[in-house]
Every structure is written in structure tokens, then in C-alpha cells.
Homo-oligomer: A and B are copies of this chain.
């Protein structure tokens, strides 16, 4: 059946492409399963023959991408050797935003091997100072890498616009940074580990879409709202983050809620961020700007009228804007992440009701508003992007000699 989506451009295929593709199929199958699987299990899951799977798995084991367990999987018939993603393959996730600095080491199983973080106030900070802090956390985390391990990359999540090459931060309004290239500042700790930059919300969304390398999350089509001081966002379709032609996609905080309303530093007015961003909400509630959204929720709980009104207006604004997004993109799930996730138990039902009332196809589709519990989702996503890359193109890692120690 012809569909609009079936038109992706094919790529030239050699025979080696075939092997690379099937290596990826096998590795993904191993990674996708939460339980260890056998060679035969991979074969029946993928449709490849047992002999082919065996050869590909041997190659992955030799390259250090897959671990063969010693215990056997019981059951009738010959017991199977369990296969799991290798622990020795790791990636680093880094995050700097106005309130967090964090470093995480995550392995190919998607497990957090080590973590180091702090909560300084970095509004209007000097990039060098922040990167110094980050370097400290990084240095704490790196030694946790397994012996003979290999760190395939590092991903740094930043609350701003990153250029397409993934090397330069163009602008981060809430940090008041412009044109920062963090690679240089971190080279000392990173040695030869490649560092890529990404927008915090985009990376958080990636982590929610694929909570472990090669594994699908609970939703494949969603819009992710990352609320901190401002509001970022990301659109995920078919488990892939839509980052746009230049990588600038996701500025949901600057979609219009009340055009002609509150002026916004972005140059526009009535932006969502002016109603549902932390700064706007605390100001409306009559609380100091350093108040966290969790505290704001607490105050509302206690009956503080200003806080209640601020939260109600924020939920209204989110509902209106997100309904527009759902109408435009047919995404049945809305994920609240970052600090605004802390308000989710309070506002999710309201947002959901508002959205449902304004969505054309609400009668034919499910709708759900949920929370991303990871409070450094950007860092998690930064590591997972590199690990997902390994699952997608295992041949690259194999060729690079998976045996290098770190």
C-alpha cells in the first residue's frame, strides 16, 4: 500500500553494506531485549538463519560489543548461551543548564555506571567557570569506566541553539552565553573522546524515546516539553527526534499563546514561555525568581493564591499551545520534562483536558500527558545518542578496533 512515508531515498548497497546492515540488525535485537537472548532467539526474531546469526554474533563478541554469559538459559533442549550488550562500551553524558551541572557514564545496556552532579546558579555565568565545574564532574566519572573499556563519545546538553555541526553553541538566553565552543575547554579531560553538543530538550526527548540504546520507549510519537527557566521542547516521530533542517527545531517556548501579549526577549510577544516558564510563573505568583517549580507547587498546595493562579495560567497556556502541536503533528503523547515535570502531577490532568477539548481528531486518537522522571535527561540523552550510534553502525566501532582501552 503506497504511503507518504515510503519515499525515503535508498542508498547504494555493496555486499559489505549488507553485512553491516545485518550486524546492526543483530546488535539491535540483542540491545532491544531487556532479558538476555540466545543466538537462536535472535535468529527467530530477525528472520536471519541461525548460521548467519552465529557468524555475526561471533564477530560482535570478538569486537567486544556483545558479552557472552557463562550461565546457561534453561529450558527444554540444549541450553543457550545468553547474549547481552557489552558493559565495556560506554558513553559520557554531560549537561549544563541554569541550575544543573552533571556528568553521567552510561554503558551499552543503558545502565548508569557513574554519575556526578551539582546544582550551582549559572544564570548569566561565565562559560569558563561552568565548563570548569563540568570538567570536575567529568573527571570524577571517567575512572568508573570498566577495565579495557571503551568510551565511544560524549554528548553535552545545553539549553540553547546549537549549530548544525554540533560543535558550537550559538545562543543560550538563560545562561546568557553566545558563541561558545566547549570542546576546547574540555579537551584536557576528554583526550580523544569525540564531543558533540545538543539542545537539552532534543537530547532529553531522545532519551525518552530510546531509554536504552536500540530499545524503544513507551511512546514513539510525542512532543517533549522541557521546562526550566525558559521552555524548550522537541518533537519525536517514529522514535526519532525531529531536529529540523538546521537543528534549530523544538523552540516550543516561543510558540504564540497570546500574540500581542507579554513581550518576550526573543523579540516576539505572547510566547508560551511568558506564561509557563519558571521566571514568568514565579513573577506572577509574587515569589522570588529563584523559587523552584516544586516550591511553587508546594505554595499552591498550601493555598497561596498567586501560586495557584500562576499554575492555572501556565496549564491553560500549555494546553492551548500543545493542542496546536497535536493538531499539526498527530502526536498522541505529551511528555513534561525538566523542572516542569515536577508540576506534572498537578497540571497534567488540566493540560490533558485542555488539549482534548481543542484537538480535531481527539475522538479518534488516544491522548496522554505524562512526566519524564529523569531530572538530567539531557545528559542521559547526550550519552545515549553516541551509544545509539554504535547500535546503528556497529561496523564503525569494530573497524576502529573495539579493543582499545580507555
Contacts and interface: CB of A to CB of B under 8 A. Distances in A.
**6 A-B pairs with the lowest CB-CB distances in the bound complex, closest first:** A244-B330, A255-B324, A249-B330, A2-B389, A251-B327, A268-B358
A33 interface: no
Contacts of A244: 221, 237, 329-331
Nearest to A316: B259
Question: Chain A interface residue count: which class?
Answer: 35 or more
A360 B237 contact: no
A234 B389 CA distance: 30
Copies of this chain present: 2
Contact of A246 (B161, B245, B364): B364
Interface centre among A202, A206, A266 (most CB of B within 10 A): A266
A7 B239 contact: yes
Contact of A328 (B3, B250, B268): B250
Interface string A177-203: 000000000000000001010100011
Interface string A315-352: 00000110111011111100000000000000000000
A324 B256 contact: yes
Contact of A18 (B15, B210, B239): B15
Contacts of A239: 7, 9
Nearest to A206: B4
A246 B2 contact: no
Given A7-B388, A256-B323, A361 B329 contact: no
Contacts of A196: 1-2
Nearest to A389: B2
B241 A323 contact: no
B47 A12 contact: yes
Interface stretch (A22-30, A114-122, A143-151, A300-308): A22-30
A269 to B, nearest CB: 8
A378 interface: no
A327 B254 contact: yes
A235 B329 CA distance: 8
A398 interface: no
Contacts of A402: none
A161 B321 CA distance: 21
Interface of A: 1-13, 15, 17-18, 21-22, 24-25, 28, 46-48, 153, 155, 161, 163, 165-166, 170, 194, 196, 198, 202-203, 206, 210, 220-221, 233, 235, 237, 239-252, 254-259, 266-268, 320-321, 323-325, 327-332, 357-358, 360-361, 364-365, 385-386, 388-389, 392-393
A312 to B, nearest CB: 14
A8 B255 CA distance: 28
5 contacts: A10-B21, A12-B46, A161-B360, A170-B364, A246-B361
B17 A256 contact: no
Contacts of A258: 259
A22 B28 contact: no
A329 B249 contact: yes
Nearest to A155: B2
Contacts of A361: 161, 246, 248, 251
Given A10-B21, A256-B321, A268-B357, A4 B240 contact: yes
A331 B246 CA distance: 9
A90 to B, nearest CB: 14
